[in-house]
Amino acid sequence: MARACTNAENVMLDIHSEKVDGVAVVECNGRIVQSDSAFALRDAVMLQDDARIILLDLSGVSSVEGGGLGMLMFLQRWAYDHDIRFKLFNPTKSVRERLRLANSIPDFEIASSGEVQALLGGAHMQAAA
């Protein structure tokens, strides 16, 4: 379990990451509204370069602004270039609305709860074998 926590006053994002057998879950809590938050997210995701799937858990993110949206697009492209599946998980209503307003929802793969359970359950089953 890795933990990247941004504690500076001007950074409003807490990031926790965990990897199980090639599936990395990057859990975000807070807001992705300033460049420091976007860069912290970039750094946390790019550390997962040996994962086959990155699940970006946005259930704790209250808002995403322009720089955060741009960073999500960048990370999606970075993952594609590294043969990694990049999926958003459980974006809050406000984050979904922001993605919709930016016409970005079709660009992202949003994982369902069932899909995440299957991915993580499968990873746990493979790790136990």
Query: pTM for this one?
Result: 0.83
Query: What DSSP letter does each residue of 68-125 carry, written as one string?
Result: HHHHHHHHHHHHHHTT-EEEEE---HHHHHHHHHTT-GGGSEEE-HHHHHHHHHHHHH
φ, ψ at 57 (rounded to 5°): -80, 110
Q: Supply the range of the domain harboring residue 55.
A: 2-128
CATH for 60: 3.30.750.24
Q: State how many domains the chain has.
A: 1
Show pLDDT as tens, one digit a residue, over the chain (129 residues): 333 444 444 448 999 999 988 999 999 999 998 889 999 999 999 999 999 999 999 999 999 998 999 999 999 999 999 999 999 999 999 999 998 888 877 789 999 989 988 888 865 444 443
**Which strands, in side-by-side order, build the sheet including 23-32?**
2-5, 13-20, 23-32, 53-64, 85-89, 109-111
Tokens linked to 5: 């926590």
